[in-house]
Amino acid sequence: MTLSSPAPVLGVVGGGQLGRMLAEAAAPLGVEVLVSDPTPDAPAAPVARDQIVGGFDDPEAVRELAERSDYLTFEIELADPDLLERVAQETDTPVHPKPETLRIIEDKLVQKRRLAEAGVPVPQFREVDSADELREALDDLGYPAMLKARKGGYDGRGNVPVETPDDVEEAFAEIVDAAQGGSQEDPSGVAMVEEMVDFERELAVMGCLGSALHGDGAQQRDTFPVTETIHEEEILRETVSPARAEESVRERARQVALDVLDVMEGRGVYGIELFEGPEGEILLNEIAPRPHNSGHWTIEGCHTSQFEQHVRAVTGRPLGTTDRRAPTVSANILGDVDERQEATLSGEDEVFEAPRAHLHWYGKREVYPLRKMGHVALVGKRDERTDRLLAEVRELRDGLSFR
């Protein structure tokens, strides 16, 4: 693709913070971003070329997006793969990752089955369509276990731990309410349960699939450095890169991520979440067919960010280097309020004054408890200890408040 004016347009289903950061990364590449999102003046709107207001599965909105774009992608799994495929064919607008990949990933049960068939190591899991089936599955898997919504749910809202047999009924009812398409009257097809993994730490790898650049037809394939992710209440709080794991463990994690990429169809960046077991074994947790919160550190920490890489990939450009510049950590800024209110942040001057610290504001108008509002990244010096960086970025993050 050559640079031109007017610029090629990348259409993105979803206009949240990921769409915002995609637009920020696309501009220097000579690519304009158009987003569709049901929320008027969505976070991506101020930095994108334009926003189409419409639901993620709104045929008219997605068709308009395709007609006005040269390429299509999505930043949220609520996009409808059947609609994307149909509109892409009718408008001759390529969509990446492929809708078939979204079909695999949007349903966590389908995702786990497909990856297990491909030999990717995954925790033991079962499909459960009722509280009775959940109880039977846990007789086999044991307690505690993690009950998950097959579709929908994020930041802990689609995961419910089941600690004892007494928790089964309440946990199943809670997950049906959280799942996409579920109802208490007909809860079938909305839940799965996994064994509770005894992990040493959680890891993430941002995988990349690009175009076939040479005559042999081999698709470009790469990974960003393995990152440690720190969660609390199922919500990502901090990332640490390099991960505080043995080099042999990081290499195993990278190899599992490459095996995952072999199952995916279509160009783009994939967020691959993993568990490191007590003996250094690696198990797959979940996949996102898009840039991911665990890769935000790459904006300052790598020569190519995950967002630039995604734009490069879906528009058919060569992938950029994934090399890390220096040890880098990040901390999410979450809503610390008791109820929904206008978002006004205080304490940011301390972040601006800190050397090598970077504040990212997602432009959300309202804050509510634990909502992701931004993040702080801190880049260290060469070979600097990540423990010290993590303590410093936590202190900077904890000095921010919406109260």
Instruction: Give DSSP secondary structure letters for 139-150.
Output: HHH-SSEEEEES
How far apart (Å, rounded) are the C-alpha atoms in residues 14 and 43?
10
**Residue 55 CA, distance from chain mean position:** 20
Task: Name 129's Cβ contacts closer than 8 Å, sequence gap at least 6.
Answer: 187, 188, 189, 191
**Is residue 196 marked as binding?**
yes
**Is residue 279 marked as binding?**
no
**Is residue 192 marked as binding?**
no
**Is residue 308 marked as binding?**
no
**Is residue 286 marked as binding?**
yes
**Is residue 332 marked as binding?**
no
How far apart (Å, rounded) are the C-alpha atoms in residues 299 and 222?
17
Parallel, antiparallel, or unpaired: how do β-strands 50-53 and 32-37 relate? parallel
**Is residue 197 marked as binding?**
yes
State which amino acid sits at residue 140: D
**Is residue 174 marked as binding?**
no
Query: Residue 31: which of 14, 9, 15, 50 has the closest Cα?
Result: 9
**For 108-150, where are the alpha helices, taking DSSP H only?**
108-117, 131-141
Report the DSSP beta bridge partners of residue 12.
Answer: 35, 73
Terminal Cα distance for the chain, rounded: 48
**Is residue 195 marked as binding?**
yes
Binding-site positions for ATP: 108, 148, 194-197, 202, 231, 285-286
Binding-site positions: 108, 148, 194-197, 202, 231, 285-286
